[in-house]
Amino acid sequence: MGTFVQDFEGIMATQKKKPNTPSIVIIGTGFGGLGMAIQLKKAGIDSFTMLEKANNVGGTWRDNTYPGAACDVQSHLYSFSFEPKHDWSRKFGLQDEIQGYMEHCAEKYDLNRHIRYQSEVTAARFDENAGEWVIELKDAEPIRANVLVTATGQLNQPAFPTIPGLDSFKGKLFHSARWDHSYDLKGKRVAVIGTGASAIQFVPQIVPQVKQLKLFQRSAAWVISKPDRPFKSWEHGLFSRLPMYDRLYRTFIYWKNEGRALGFTRFDKVLDLFALEAKWMARRHVRNPEKRRNLIPDYKIGCKRILMANDWYQAVDNDHVDLITDGIARIEKDAVITKDGQRHEVDAIILGTGFKATDFLSPIKIHGLEGQDLNDAWKEGAEAYKGISVSGFPNLFMLYGPNTNLSHNSIVFMLESQIHYVLEAMKGLGKKKAQYLDVKADQQRKYVDGLQGRLEHSVWASGCGSWYTTAAGRNVANWPGFTFTYRMMTRDFEPKDYQFKTLKPVTLNTANKPKTKPKPAQPATNAAS
């Protein structure tokens, strides 16, 4: 490992740099950013800086503090393999507990001294002559780095609907990903626009508080039961005293989840069993026939994200909850007007309209070789070699990039595969004694064409529109297979797939630290506090 560090550090600069200039910059401090930083440290590389736009780590788990926020992947699997947590309170982790786990990781591995908080990246430009990325910040001087790793995730930019008059509303309005905990919903007339993954979780929590709830649904979701419950004390005892039991439990969960990939990619008829379950739950818990009918989707199950909840149908069944399926025509200062002409007066509007999941790296502007704009390179839809590298953008590595999202298992598993691959690429730079590498365009084209061909036979291509796809219908989000096949694919770095550029090397100061003293981490506001 020492040789790798020496070789890599030795070629990571081609011009004299200020002592505090980082060799590696990581954008984001969610699971991807934290995992990348920890593995860099384990590899002996300390010359990196993490840029975080907020005042704490956590990514989407820091931002989404709405009531009922929780994960739909089991706790023991939705965590780093190298940092097990034995005392999860439930089978499926809650937002504040996941956030606490990430803060624990940052503290344990001494990452806070590498993080520049409240440092929002606005643009990044590759300086071909220097072989460096110039990273522009919103309220600070630009910094340079030899390697740029983006760990911004796919669910970081809230999507706001383009409804006429939205800005004219005089009541309280906020997005579920930016929940206003200072606003008391008790006794209020509330409109919720959207019935996606977030709404499925927070609507049951606010129904007992509000006077009236107007639930505006554009498209119904398939909602099945969630096998969740608190862990018993004897289970906690086994997890903490017998680490092997913890590992076996995690392994069991992994393979159980992994088997579901077959339903999404090859044998979609299997998913019809889950559709029957959803219909049975609706019949059991929803008395109103019209409500029940409108809660069942008209598209094939699995085409959009399958949601899990044990209280969704019961919540919608309440008499003071109106399920409205007519489209919204406009919004006025105190009401939502539907296309059938009805006026729905409300005191507050909560937007449960999801995220700009297909706008990778948005709103950061990225320019690569010869000033190429990443948006232009992605005009037909985002794509990347193995979801990590983009031709024409040297030494840029994406975590949770195009077509690495999952519908059946833990994204943390995928992130660990990608992190390993990025480290192997850095080793490749060291072995070649090169300044930068760039994936070959033909290799990227071959990979993407093969991947898109496999997606054409998946359930996601069965005819619905979802956040997995662009407006033109191209699936740029999902991985069409097993996670273990992705891990095998990213196990080895193949130098033949990349072009290497060697510039005149100079000595690099390996004790780089953030240019600005990092501000101390602030505790995240969460619904459970």
Same domain for 377 and 347: no
Distance CA 339, CA 327 (A): 6
Residue 483 lies in a domain: yes
| Residue after which a domain boundary falls, among 351, 371, 402 | 351
Whether 233 is in a domain gets the answer no
Distance CA 134, CA 401 (A): 21
* Final residue belonging to a domain, choices 323, 351, 379: 351
In a domain, 517, yes or no: no
At 60 the three-state DSSP class reads: helix
Shared-domain flag, residues 292 and 363: no
Burial class (CB in 10 A: 0-12, 13-18, 19+), 469: buried
The upper half-sphere exposure of residue 63, i.e. CA atoms within 13 Å in the direction of its Cβ, equals: 22
Phi/psi for 478 (5° steps) reads -90, 150
For the chain, what is the domain count? 2
Contact 50, 59 (CB under 8 A): no
Question: Given CA atoms 449, 454, 458, 462 in this order, what sign does their dihedral have?
Answer: positive
**Mean pLDDT in each 10-residue stretch from start to end of the chain (529 residues)?**
57 46 88 98 95 97 97 97 96 97 98 97 96 95 96 89 96 97 98 96 98 97 97 95 94 96 90 96 96 96 96 98 97 97 97 87 94 94 97 98 96 98 95 95 98 94 89 93 97 97 58 45 36
| Residue pLDDT, tens place only, 454-472 | 999 999 999 898 889 998 8
C-alpha count within 13 angstroms, C-beta hemisphere, residue 245: 10
Q: How far apart are CA 101 and CA 165, in angstroms?
A: 41
Same domain as 300, residue 257:
yes
> CB burial class (10 A; 0-12, 13-18, 19+) of residue 464?
middle
CA separation (Å) from 412 to 178, 335, 376? Answer: 24, 42, 30
Shared domain check, 75 and 14: yes
Distance CA 120, CA 295 (A): 40
Q: What is the CATH number of the domain that holds 394?
A: 3.50.50.60
Taking the whole predicted model, whether its pTM rises above 0.85 is answered as yes
Question: According to the 3-state scheme, what is the secondary structure of 233-276?
Answer: HHHHHHHHHCHHHHHHHHHHHHHHHHCCHHHHHCCHHHHHHHHH
Sequence letter at residue 19? P
Within a domain: residue 518?
no
Q: Decide if 237 is inside a domain.
A: no
- Cβ contacts of residue 347 below 8 Å, gap of 6+? 171, 172, 188, 189, 190
What pLDDT was estimated at residue 509?
A: 42
DSSP secondary structure code for residue 478 in this structure: B
Do residue 262 and residue 345 come from a single domain?
yes
Whether residue 523 is contained in a domain is answered as no
Is residue 456 a part of any domain in this protein?
A: yes
Boundary (domain end) residue, out of 289, 322, 351: 351
For 318, list phi and psi in degrees, rounded to 5. -60, 145
Burial of 311 (0-12, 13-18, 19+ CB in 10 A): middle
Residue with tokens 């550029």: 501
CA dist., res. 106 & res. 114, Å (int): 10
Alpha-carbon distance of 139 to 391, in angstroms, equals 30
Q: What is the pLDDT of residue 523?
A: 37
Give the pLDDT score at 155: 81
pLDDT confidence of residue 22? 59
State whether 296 and 424 are in the same domain. Answer: no
Task: Clarify whether residues 347 and 364 are in a common domain.
Answer: no
DSSP-assigned letter for residue 26: E
Inter-residue contact 434 to 13 (CB < 8 Å): no
Same domain membership, residue 388 and residue 340: no
Q: In the prediction, which pLDDT does 524 show?
A: 36
* Amino acid making up residue 486: Y
C-alpha R_g of the chain = 24
Q: Which domain holds residue 316?
A: 166-227+251-351
Same domain, 325 and 432: no
- Asked if residue 521 belongs to a domain, the reply is no
Is 71:78 a contact under the CB 8 Å cutoff? Answer: yes
**Statement to judge: residues 288 and 180 lie in one domain:** yes
Q: Mark whether 345 and 368 lie in a shared domain.
A: no
Same domain, 214 and 264: yes
